[in-house]
Amino acid sequence: MKKGFTLIELVIVIVIIGILAAIAVPKYLDLQNEARKSSCEGTIGSIRAGIQIYFAKNKAFPASGTNLLTTVVSEYDTNLWSSSGDTYTCKYGSTTYYTCTYDATDGSFDCTAGGGGT
C-alpha cells in the first residue's frame, strides 16, 4: 500500500491557502498604512510639544524657516516626512497622510489630513 496524498487532497489544500492569502494580504497592507498614519500623528504631537518646550526655554517660538523636524524633535521617520519652508508633509509613496503649516508668530502647527489611511 502506497502512502501519500491524493491529487484532490493537494488541490483542496492549495485552494484553502489561496483563500487565506486573499484575505491576509489586503489586511496586512491596511495595517501597514495605519501604522504609517499613526507614526505621522505621533510626530505631529512631538513637534507641537517641542515647539512649546522651545518657547519655554527661549521665550520665543522657533523662527520661520527653521526645520522643526531637526530642531524640536529628536527622532522622526525620515521616510515619511519632508519639509519646504514652513510646510511639512507626511507621505509615503504617492499617499499623503498630513500636510502641516508652521506659523512662527504664535507657534501654531496646523495640519490637514491628506486622505491617506482612510
| SS3 state of residue 106 | coil
Q: What is the pTM of this model?
A: 0.77
| Residues 6 or more apart whose Cβ sits within 8 Å of residue 49 | none
Judged against a pLDDT cut of 90, whether residue 112 lies above it is answered with yes
The verdict on residue 69 lying in a domain is yes
CB 80 within 8 A of CB 36: yes
Q: Is residue 27 part of a domain?
A: yes
Q: What is the domain count for the chain?
A: 1
Contacts for 111 with CB less than 8 Å, ≥ 6 apart:
44, 98, 99, 100, 101
Domain span at residue 26 reads 7-113
Q: Given this model, what pLDDT does residue 3 score?
A: 83
Is 45 domain-assigned? Answer: yes
Rounded Cα–Cα distance for residues 7 and 5 (Å): 7
Task: Please determine, for residue 18, whether its predicted confidence score (pLDDT) is greater than 60.
Answer: yes
101-112: average pLDDT: 96
**DSSP annotation of 3:** -
pLDDT bin (cut points 50, 70, 90) of residue 116 is low
Is residue 1 in some structural domain?
no
pLDDT exceeds cutoff 70 at 53: yes
Does a structural domain hold residue 118?
no
